[in-house]
Structure 1
Amino acid sequence: MRVLAAMSGGVDSAVAAARAVAAGHDVTGVHLALSRNPQTYRTGARGCCTVEDARDARRAADVIGIPFYVWDMAEQFHSDVVDDFVAEYAAGRTPNPCLRCNEKIKFAAVLDRAVALGFDAVVTGHHARLGPDGLLRRSVDLAKDQSYVLAVLNRAQLDRAMFPLGDSTKAQVRAEAARRGLAVADKPDSHDICFIADGDTRGFLADRLGNAPGDVVDATTGAVVGRHDGAYAFTVGQRRGLGIGVPAPDGRPRYVLSITPKSNTVTVGPAEALDVDTVTGVRPVWIGGDQPTGPVEAMLQVRAHGSTTPAVVELTDAGMHAQLHRPVRGVAAGQAMVAYRPDPAGDVVLGSATIAG
């Protein structure tokens, strides 16, 4: 097959491209230039969005022996990922930009362009598996598994995707990169948001949304216990940096329970007030076989790198509804709810939706 390899400049995408070549595919490498000004994004060997990353990707393509191009997708990335990130926080939600980038950029814009150019599939360095049955599964390396951020993809996108690293641990990927002579073998992983250069999400949002003072209110007493400079700086479940000047009557820590942009209020309370036993999502995607006509048992994950909880999941006219068998804490609107098949392995993705709030 003719395959387009998305090469970020990191070790994972380089090894994924090399494996695609080894499997006999006709591979072309492409690096996505996502920053309007690469110097304003994170610098250093971090694996995404910088000038250094483009150079690392080119060198890896040279070693592998494949053609290499750079595609400028900065405007679309800014519109679909960065602007969406800011708008979601302004609306009191907590977005996951990696989910949006996979959905809107890597497996929409890039895949559409690849197909138009005659490519059969796009290969990436994501740690996930696609079996012969076409079902999306967790990586064998659960610590690096990225099926959660890929669960937003639809069936047509998955049918043209390749994830060669899903059967390997990260240590095995690095060792293979070293054997292949790839200079990125020891390059650090990227953990932060790629378009926030200094890692200061609160400062990034403040620059774009401005100063917006408001009240921090105790859910139990209704009393104002503090002030904030912008409700967008908080997320559900947050404990530190709340700006509370009045100790709780019981002396226990308070957590962010909700964010209300309309009144610019952050509501705080005890940890147990975070418990929820139902979760509702919008824009559902079902990829685990035929779409169910009624409730199904599943294992539900509601945050990246979080654990799963048994639940009954049902698709409705409004989206996806999950009734949890036991409460979970810190469910934040804007994140994804991802349902996995409830078999012993628990690694097959059934579907996903964006948590409403």
Structure 2
Amino acid sequence: MAIGPLRIVHCLRAPVGGLFRHVCDLAEAQAERGHLVGLIADATTGGAAATARFERLEQVCKLGITRFPMSRLPGPGDLAVARRIGRLAAELKPDVLHGHGAKGGAYARIAGTRLRQSGARPIRAYTPHGGSLHYGKLSPAGFVFLAVERHLASRTDVFLFESEYGLRTFSEKVCPPPGIVRVVHNGLAPDEFTPVVAADDAADFVFIGELRALKGIDTLLEALARLAPGSDGPTAVIVGAGADGDKLRMAAETLGLGARVRFPGAMPAREAFRLGRCVVVPSRAESLPYVVLEAAAARLPIVATNVGGIPEIFGAQADRLVPPDDPERLAAAMGRILSDRNRADDDARALSEDVAGRFSLAGMTDAILEAYVTET
């Protein structure tokens, strides 16, 4: 389907993690197709890595990249941010305002609605990326966040979910989404399907991600201790940074894993993959995590939990997934990798080939562009 040049502005809060990667990949791919693209993001998060990524994006984002402070939690400052984004959107005159995550989605849809009140007709698109959907309906924070989602649903023209899980969860916790609704899986570029070879001194297992409770790293440490107590046994590398870093280091010491677990800090995923012979994703909640897609593309064995959209990635191999918060089952799955490496490699090869056919960057970009211009 040929789509004429669009003026597309993406709005997100924190330029970190899979959400940021998704926005960057999508913006670049849309620009390559001749669309005029701009980005709006928080200026206080992301660090040097985000700054470097934005500098590369500036070369293709003809509508520019604008960053200013945005708070993580709701507060009075949100009104000033929303007004600022509204003024910027009025100047950029976008055909599409695409919000990502709870905060970015709220800002974009508020700005898009105000533009419509002034006579413009921007398409208000929204991708939740998990966000407020991770909160329980009865928790105080969940009550507020989900109420906001419900209010903004009628001010959304196009809903784009990265997984069937995301669509199902939104429908259950918020409301059946109105307007155009599409499930568009995250996609990878062809060069990401080059296998990664582990370093000679690689650990048995590697975790890659934010060091916070939602990622279940404490469960991984407990599972590692169950495989062999004390200083002898399988090893692991915990790659990433986050608020719970010190707590997790202390937990490793308490479990007697000090000599078996390393915390080298954050680094790019494919660089981190070389540090371990099997990727472990022990998350308590996810949407459609890029690290699982990237590990599958790199043809690495993966042990993961049965949460969010991960079963959609594993497809026919979804029965290998383990429950979250279950160190015994996680240890058993990790033990099977150690005991039958040939089977693990065969599973990794089959999963990589399956993912290559279902999760492409080109397919993701085409589907999102088509959703923008679908008649309601």
- Specify if TM > 0.5: no
The TM-score bracket by the shorter chain reads 0.3 to 0.5
Task: Tell me which protein shows more helix as a share of its residues.
Answer: 2
Task: Tell me which protein shows more strand as a share of its residues.
Answer: 1
